[in-house]
Amino acid sequence: MSVARLPTESNDPKPKKARVEIRPVLGFSDEDKIGTIQPHNNALVVTLRIGAYNVKRVLVDQGSVVEVMYPDLYKGLRLKPKDLTAYNSPLISFEEKTVIPKGQIRLPIQTGSEVVEVNFIVVDAYSPYTAIVVRPWLHALKAVSSTLH
């Protein structure tokens, strides 16, 4: 019976190490759903620090193209017409009505330690939300949203 033996010495003075590439996981697991009532199809509504205030009922909408500020937030931040710059393009509301903006204002949004400047379009229209933030804001944070989690 012959037995194969492994060599004890190598001609290569330094053994080669396997390269291991560690990639961060970009996703969510079932553990991330802990604390949520399933199934649901809720909108992603958050509290954000806009300007110097914690603002509740901010909709994160990946389908909209502009950040929007509604009258409650405009009044709550004590903004005046002189604080706005011109914005002349009409918007289409969720009810498919044309809305003429009052103007635009650039404000910081703080999320954790990150601060992103955002141009809000100010409209005088009803909404259950105080503001809407959209994809460019998420991209600036390098964030991924999940309404499931």
pLDDT at res. 114: 86
CATH number of 43-141: 2.40.70.10
Helix and strand numbers (H, E) in the chain are 2, 8
pLDDT in tens, 56-108: 999 998 878 889 999 999 999 999 999 999 998 998 887 888 999 999 999 99
Higher pLDDT, 117 or 33: 117
Cis amide linkage into residue 39, ω under 30° from 0: yes
13 has pLDDT over 90 = no
For residue 10, name the pLDDT band (cuts at 50, 70, 90).
low
pLDDT at res. 7: 53
Residues 6+ away with beta carbon under 8 Å from 86: 103, 104
Distance CA 11, CA 9 (A): 7
For residue 39, name the pLDDT band (cuts at 50, 70, 90).
confident
pLDDT in tens, 22-33: 766 556 678 877
Selection from 65, 64, 126 nearest residue 95 by Cα: 126
Q: Report the amino acid identity of residue 72.
A: D
Distance CA 145, CA 64 (A): 14
Helix, strand, or coil (residue 139): helix
pLDDT at res. 8: 54
Work out the average pLDDT over 133-148: 79
List, in sequence order, every residue forming a beta bridge with 48; answer none if it has no partner. 55
pLDDT at res. 78: 92
DSSP structure class, residue 132: E
Q: Report the amino acid identity of residue 119.
A: N
Q: What is the DSSP string of 61-85?
A: -TT-SSEEE-HHHHHHTT--GGGPB
| Global confidence as pTM | 0.71
